[in-house]
């Protein structure tokens, strides 16, 4: 009788253990995340994505291809409405800080970003943005200051960031500084090729490069001077990173920002929002296509906060009409406290779902990369 009871207990334990072991084997067989492409639409709320879909007459957009989604809370350590510095720091480091702070806590403790941790692990890194290279979001991934507006100080910190590829505006913070210091020769001494136009990197396929394509921010997407800069720069950065990684046998972390979606939101300008969103969605397509061809690549599409308080209400209350009309309405020329959407594609995409804090989003990305 005793032996029978022991046998039944052993059998029951085996039956309980089997699903756990099977799940463990399943997790072990999943591809490892080697590369992360983080696409940040600065100020891009869910209504901004909806507006793009609406203006495209609900034809498929690249974001439609996402394999998973989540809602992200954006408040900062000292305000229910975040600015780009605090939100950028949360996404970059996994830790809350106060508005106007970059890469440090309110108490002054230094925070280590995903890019810095990736560099320390021997990975390749890149930033591609349409704002200053020293502006809040890109700076959150390499700088440490309690004042986001210290652009020239932040530019000096870029020299030791270790970032391999950077395409942006903000040339004046490096080459036309108030203190008279020219950082371009220092960048070149650190092994970077420094360029002023995308034409100068057409024949560049590997190595380290800093492109400073405007004295200030890049033009808005509604201006012809902008062209297809952001998609072109994203594709070139991926080409260079891929070659560098093949040589170094490593992965990469790349942050791309559609920085001027935020400016369009501040301006309450529907045409600018549409142009910036369409441009950003093209970049999403480039990143998703890259993930399709390179196993081990995770693409994260998110925002730092929502700008403009955008809503898309109907023009009429009679919904029996064939067309009730849609209006663009704005609640503010500033940021709002609404949650933002995050979309995921590629290896590890299914690890994200539900509602989470922006710090948790950062920590999960770091965990998948082993950082």
Q: Which domains, ranges and CATH numbers included, belong to the chain?
A: 30-314+333-369 (3.40.720.10)
Residues 6+ apart with CB under 8 A from 89: 95, 96, 97, 101, 102, 103, 104, 111, 140
pLDDT band at 3 (very low <50, low <70, confident <90, very high): low
Q: Return left, alpha or beta for 294; rule: phi > 0 is left, psi -120 to 50 is alpha, else beta.
A: beta
pLDDT band at 243 (very low <50, low <70, confident <90, very high): very high
Tell me what the pLDDT averaged over the chain comes to. Answer: 93
Q: Are strands 124-132 and 165-169 parallel, antiparallel or unpaired?
A: parallel
Q: Which of 47, 66, 75 is nearest to 304 (CA)?
A: 75
Answer yes or no: is pLDDT of 12 > 90.
no
Answer yes or no: is pLDDT of 281 > 50.
yes
* Mean local confidence (pLDDT), 291-295: 98
Q: Dump pLDDT digits (tens) for 47-81.
A: 999 999 999 999 999 999 999 999 999 999 999 99
* Mean local confidence (pLDDT), 348-368: 97
* Mean local confidence (pLDDT), 229-258: 97
Residues 6+ apart with CB under 8 A from 40: 88, 91, 137, 255, 256, 257, 258, 302, 303, 304
Answer yes or no: is pLDDT of 271 > 50.
yes
Q: What is the pLDDT of residue 19?
A: 43
Q: Dump pLDDT digits (tens) for 73-114.
A: 999 999 999 999 999 999 999 999 999 999 999 999 999 999
Q: What is the pLDDT of residue 7?
A: 46
Q: Dump pLDDT digits (tens) for 298-343.
A: 999 999 999 999 999 998 888 888 888 899 999 999 999 999 999 9
**CA atoms 72, 165, 218, 212: torsion sign:** positive
Answer yes or no: is pLDDT of 4 > 70.
no
Q: What is the pLDDT of residue 315?
A: 87
Q: Dump pLDDT digits (tens) for 22-42.
A: 444 444 557 899 999 999 999
* Mean local confidence (pLDDT), 202-207: 96
Question: Rounded to whole angstroms, how far apart are CA atoms 193 and 183?
Answer: 13
**Which residues are catalytic, by number?**
84
* Mean local confidence (pLDDT), 269-280: 98
């Amino acid at each position: 009788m005793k032996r029978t009871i022991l046998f039944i207990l052993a059998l029951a334990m085996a039956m309980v253990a089997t699903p756990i072991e099977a799940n463990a084997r399943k997790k072990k067989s999943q591809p490892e995340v080697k590369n992360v492409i983080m696409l940040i639409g600065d100020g891009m709320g869910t209504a901004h994505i909806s507006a793009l879909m609406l203006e495209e007459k609900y034809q498929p957009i690249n974001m439609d291809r996402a394999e998973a989604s989540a809602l992200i809370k954006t408040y900062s350590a000292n305000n229910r409405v975040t600015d780009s510095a605090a939100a950028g720091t949360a996404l970059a480091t996994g830790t809350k800080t106060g508005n106007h702070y970059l890469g440090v806590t309110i108490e002054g403790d230094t925070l280590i970003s995903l890019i810095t941790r990736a560099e320390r692990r021997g990975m390749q890194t890149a930033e591609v943005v349409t704002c200053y290279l020293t502006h809040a979001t890109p700076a959150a991934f390499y700088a440490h200051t309690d004042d986001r507006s210290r652009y020239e100080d932040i530019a000096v910190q870029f020299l030791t960031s270790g970032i391999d590829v950077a395409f942006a505006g903000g040339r004046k913070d490096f080459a036309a500084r108030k203190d008279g210091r020219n950082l371009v020769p220092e960048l070149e001494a650190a092994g970077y090729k420094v360029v002023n136009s995308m034409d100068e990197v057409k024949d560049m396929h590997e190595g380290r490069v800093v492109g400073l394509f405007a004295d200030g921010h890049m033009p808005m997407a509604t201006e012809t001077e902008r062209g297809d800069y952001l998609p072109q720069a994203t594709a070139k950065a991926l080409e260079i990173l891929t070659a560098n990684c093949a040589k170094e046998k490593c992965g990469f972390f790349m942050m791309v920002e559609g920085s001027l979606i935020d400016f369009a939101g501040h301006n309450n300008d529907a045409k600018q929002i549409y142009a910036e969103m369409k441009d950003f969605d093209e970049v999403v397509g480039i990143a998703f296509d890259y993930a399709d061809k390179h196993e081990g690549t995770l693409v994260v599409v998110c925002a730092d906060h929502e700008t403009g308080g955008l809503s898309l209400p109907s023009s009429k209350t009679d919904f029996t009409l064939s067309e009730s009309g849609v209006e663009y309405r704005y609640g503010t020329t500033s940021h709002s406290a609404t949650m933002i959407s995050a979309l995921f594609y590629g290896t590890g995409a299914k690890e994200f779902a539900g509602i989470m804090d922006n710090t948790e989003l950062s920590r999960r990305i770091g965990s998948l990369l082993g950082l």
